[in-house]
């Protein structure tokens, strides 16, 4: 039973799985939106730079529910299992680097680095609760894929499920990592600048749910 709940592909040799084979080209998620677990609406050709200097160009996407890079082989959606051998992935104009078994998108790099950890919570469709409202609870029973041997096959999400984006933001300063979810938590990272940061946000009418605005805020907070 456990093998049906955990789907993984073991990447022993990069060339074995990241080959950019012809059948990868044009692969995409379903147009009816039944694969909302992916960060981008379509699978796209990307550039994968390995730690050993090799460069591969598979078609990939990022699964925000499992927090895995996914590529296509033989019509199947497979997880990239050994991100530690990957230096950088350039996908849809975005730069991703690995942290443990998952990838963060790089929003800023330099003396201070700023990342976004794309996460998605899988939720069943809301159920009526009276007064025209609905309720939603996270699902721990839905299978996101099937394991067969050493391979992990991603499955489409049924139409009665949805994915709620729940990003986590990370700032790396002085070799330390700091995470935050909202303005209140960001201000706690910079207590001496809290009032100035709040005024900067107010004066420029910046929003936390707009990536470009958030980058401006972090630049101001860390300068």
Note the pLDDT tens digit of each residue in 99-121.
988 999 999 999 999 999 999 98
Pair 30, 18 in one domain:
yes
Two tokens, residue 208: 């936390």
| Residue found under tokens 């040799």 | 13
Q: Is residue 129 part of a domain?
A: no
Pair 159, 209 in one domain:
no
Pair 103, 118 in one domain:
yes
* Global pTM value: 0.74
Pair 95, 188 in one domain:
no
Least trusted range by pLDDT, from 8-22, 27-41, 85-99, 113-127: 8-22
Q: Is residue 133 part of a domain?
A: no
Q: Domain range spanning residue 221?
A: 182-223
The per-residue pLDDT for 187 is 96
Q: How many domains does the chain have?
A: 2
Pair 99, 145 in one domain:
yes
Q: Is residue 118 part of a domain?
A: yes
Q: Is residue 130 part of a domain?
A: no
In DSSP terms, 163 is beta-bridged to 122
* Strand order across the 176-180 sheet: 55-56, 47-50, 86-91, 94-99, 102-108, 113-117, 168-173, 176-180
């Amino acid at each position: 039973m456990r093998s049906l709940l955990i789907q993984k592909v073991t990447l022993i040799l990069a060339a074995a799985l990241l080959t950019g084979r012809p059948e990868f080209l044009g692969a995409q998620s379903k147009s009816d939106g039944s694969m909302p677990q992916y960060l981008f609406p379509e699978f796209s050709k990307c550039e994968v730079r390995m730690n050993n200097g090799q460069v591969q160009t598979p078609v990939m996407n990022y699964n925000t529910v499992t927090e895995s890079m996914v590529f296509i082989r033989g019509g199947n959606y497979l997880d990239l299992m050994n991100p530690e051998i990957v230096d950088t992935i350039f996908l849809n104009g975005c730069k991703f680097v690995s942290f443990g078994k998952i990838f963060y998108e790089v929003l800023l790099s330099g003396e201070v680095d700023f990342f976004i950890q794309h996460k998605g919570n899988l939720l069943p469709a809301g159920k009526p609760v009276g007064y025209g409202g609905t309720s939603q609870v996270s699902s721990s029973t839905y299978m996101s894929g099937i394991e067969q041997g050493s391979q992990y096959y991603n499955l489409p999400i049924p139409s009665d499920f949805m994915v709620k984006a729940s990003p986590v933001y990370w700032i790396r300063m002085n070799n330390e990592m700091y995470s935050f979810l909202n303005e209140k938590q960001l201000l706690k990272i910079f207590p001496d600048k809290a009032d100035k940061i709040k005024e900067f946000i107010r004066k420029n009418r910046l929003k936390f749910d707009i990536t470009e605005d958030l980058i401006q805020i972090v630049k101001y907070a860390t300068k």
